[in-house]
Structure formats: C-alpha cells, structure tokens
Amino acid sequence: MARDLRGFIQELEQKGQLRRIKALVDPDLEIAEISNRMLQAGGPGLLFENVKGSSFPVAINLMGTEERVCWAMNRSSPEDLETLGKKLGMLQQPKPPKKISQAVEFGKILFDVVKAKPGRDFFPPCHQVVVQENDLDLNTLPLIRPYPGDAGKIITLGLVITKDCETGIPNVGVYRLQLQSKTTMTVHWLSVRGGARHLRKAVERGQKLEIAIALGVDPLIILAAATPIPVDLSEWLFAGLYGGSGVNLAKCKTLDLEVPADSEFVLEGTITPGEMLPDGPFGDHMGYYGGVEDSPLIRFHCMTHRKDPIYLTTFSGRPPKEEAMMAIALNRIYTPILRQQVSEIVDFFLPMEALSYKAAIISIKKAYPGQARRAALAFWSALPQFTYTKFVIVVDETINIRDPRQVVWAISSKVDPVRDVFILPNTPFDSLDFASEKIGLGGRMGIDATTKIPPETEHEWGATLESDGDVAAMVDRRWAEYGLGDLDLKDVDPNLFGYDM
C-alpha cells in the first residue's frame, strides 16, 4: 500500500476536508460532542492536537461523508465502487468465459489478485518505539468516552487480529474494546465472528489466544476488514484488491501474528480461556445504550508505536455517524454481487436513517406477477449482512430509489396493504433491536410497491402521466432562450417541499 493514515490525513488537508484543533479538549465526552456536531452537518475531519491526559493527537470523523469514504478507497465517486463490486462478484462465483473479451477481463482480475498479495516489512514504522511489561500503561492512550451513560473508555477503530490455532489462518475484524485497567481490556464480538471462533478453538485445546490490536491504519484497510462479503479471501487480500497493491505486514514483537507495518500503534496480548469481565453498557448504532455482557479479557504485555503517533477513533450512535457513511459507500460494492445472486434486481439502497441495514429499497424490471415478493425473499437470503434487514420495499426500475419522495409516492400510489404487504414472523434477529418482542427473534415485512399486472389486479392500471416528447425536446433546446439558463433544476432543496432537513 502506497499510503498510510498520515497520507490520508494529508490528502484530506490538501482537499480542504480537515480541521486541526489546537485548543485543549477532553477525550471524556467533549471530543465526541464536537465530532457529532460535525457529522450532523457533513463537516470536515478533525485532528485534535492538544488532548487532556495524553501526549498523542486524536483523529476523528475522517470518513464522515460518503465522498471521503470513496477517497479512502482510492475512488473518486460512489459509482466507481460498483466496478470493484463486479470484480469481487466474479471472484465469488466465477463463470467460464464465453468470449475472448470475457476471458481477458477475468485474466485481469486474477492479475489484480496477484498484485494484492501482502508484502513484508522487516523494519516497520510501527516498531519505532517499544513499551513492554511494567512500563505499559494503556491510560497514556487518548481513549474516548462518547456518551455519559457509557461504562468507560473504548477503542473503536482498531483492527483486532487473531489466528486459527488449527489452520493458522488469521482473522481481521473491527470490534469494540473497553478499558478495564492499565494493562487489560475486554473485547465485544458476536459469537459468529472470526475472533470468537478462534477463541473457542483455543479453549478446546486449553491454550491462550494471541491477539493484536492495530490502531491508526490506513482507513482503506479498516473498510476491507469491515466488509462482510462472502468471498473466501483474507482481509489482507481484500485490502490489496481495494487499494490496487498489497498491504505491507510486519511480525509482532512478542506474538506470532502480523499487523500492518504502518500502524500508528500496536497492542499485543493474550486471552486466557475463561477469563471474562462485564463489558458495557455503551451507546450503539441503534441509537440506544446496549446491555452489559461478560466478555473475554485481554491481558496486554507490549505496545509498539511510531514516533509521534496519531490515535484514530470514532463512535457509534444514531445516524449520521462514520459507520453509516461507510455502509452507504459499501452498498455500492454489494450491488453487483447482489445482482449476481438475484438477477432481476436492478438496484438497491439501504438508507442511512434506517441504520444502513434495517430497511432496503429494491428496484426490479418487472416481468411477471409475484416477482416483487420473490425478489424480497431472495434478498433476505442473498448475503449474510441482509439477515437482519427488517423491511424490504420493492419498486419499479423507473423509481429513483435514492429519492425518498419517489419511494413514498410509489408506496402511496401502488400499494394495497391487504394484497401487497406480507410479514414473516419469528425469524432470527438482531439482539440489539429492542423493537422486537423477544430479543433475538423478530418479524420481517415485505412491501410490493411495483405496478401491478394480472392476475395481481383485476382492473387496468392507469397510464402514467408523461410530458409530450416533442415539446419536452423543444423546451430543452430553448431553455436559455427563455432566460432560464442560469437556473440549476437538478439540485433541489427538499425543504421547499415541506421537509425539515
């Protein structure tokens, strides 16, 4: 990888998307409060250079807009991410090429995989300073506490790296960690995640699980680690495919694990089977405080870092937050993969206000009765990350699914609740969703907001109102002649139509 966290910060600053804060700020509540106001307004990334209780600066809100997430992935626009999605889709389900052009295209993708192979750095920047054993104190890190009801200080954007004790295959995830003492933290991960699986295997063998936390890496690597696409590739290879070249890795000082060589900080520790401590409560992405859970305890014995390191962080909560912005951009990557799984889907959108996964809007090119219901059912089973999607709204391909006004019109004008709404009760569900009557078990709703065709309806559907084509073309030609050439009618303020945004 040609760029690290510092390179990305420099890029944001050059593009006028970074503010340096020199005033003294408190990592307890104050940094999150400032950042949250920036997130609400789509403001720039922030670098706090004077943090109470720590000598290290704090970077936050670097990926607080969709545009900056695209920059983090070396893309100029969200549409460019779909090209990456097509590449991953071909790797996931390769098909024999029928034309020479298809063979050439697939050959290019395989070459990209070769280029994405991780490299090795034997004198990595992350080992410039080494702190071990009695000298280690995690309180020197500027860990934030975002909300007044949070149980303590947290790490949120660290790469949590473990290894399968049987196969030796590493897992890289992004999990929340809570500070417990100057040398210990608890890690909060779901039982289905790779780190949890590795711990279970270590428990079966009666072994400690080695674990490393890489802090302050290139945001592109974080996005790769957070992408739950079902391709049998390592997160390091994913990051290489995202960035166009392999990630440089370095061996930990005390563990048999590898971390990004350009990490700002690396924490090295172990989990002893059976050692648990209460973790939480903390504010989560649903917009509420989560519960308290006994979680694995990590005992750290070594910290390495670069000279003059930068601490990167973020926090969860009701959108907009950085995690929501990342999800919006990653949706573009999912789109070609979803089309490959469910061929009739033209496009889909996961609105940020629906937590980027609770509600999905799908457009289809309708060809037969019942197709909308089939598309909704297929969506729920297409990819693991759609398991917890509560609502699926299916519209015609003529509807702009990213314009809520058009979607509301489609629901209002094309839906009969008795005929077009269907509910699946008692399905596996998100344990953080308090709306469910039983935690971990809930219902799903599908809404068919497409134009109905027989036998879905017994009467003829009304003809859609459209302009006369010849007149519309004439008005296009004469628009400047009318004296209206200076008006931009494409970027319309929704507040003009009764919204409060």
Catalytically active residues, by annotation = 284
The C-alpha atoms of residue 364 and residue 491 are separated, in whole angstroms, by: 26
230's CB contacts (< 8 A; 6+ apart) are 92, 383, 384
Positive or negative torsion for Cα 378, 384, 387, 388: negative
Collapsing DSSP to helix, strand or coil, 254 comes out as coil
Nearest to 234 by CA among 244, 221, 217: 221
Whether the upstream peptide bond of residue 281 has omega within 30° of 0, thus cis, is yes
Dist. CA 75–CA 88, nearest whole Å: 16
Q: Burial level of 478, CB count in 10 A (0-12/13-18/19+)?
A: exposed
Could you give the residue ranges of the DSSP H alpha helices within 206-321? 219-225, 235-243
DSSP string, 94-117: ----SSHHHHHHHHHHHHHHHHTS
Burial class (CB in 10 A: 0-12, 13-18, 19+), 469: exposed
Report the distance separating Cα 232 and Cα 79, nearest Å: 25
* Exposed / middle / buried, residue 207 (Cβ in 10 Å: 0-12, 13-18, 19+): middle
* Helices 235-243/100-115 angle, 10° precision: 110
Are 189 and 197 contacting, i.e. CB atoms less than 8 angstroms apart? Answer: no
- Measured between alpha carbons, how far is residue 416 from residues 410, 449, 458, 464 in Å? 11, 9, 13, 18
Query: What CA–CA distance (Å, rounded) separates 66 from 201?
Result: 38
- Residues ≥6 apart with Cβ < 8 Å to 417: none
Residue pair 184/272 in contact by the 8 Å Cβ criterion: no
Query: Tokens representing 147?
Result: 């909300």
Supply the Cα-derived Rg of the chain in whole angstroms: 25
Contact call for residues 420 and 366 (beta carbons, < 8 A): no
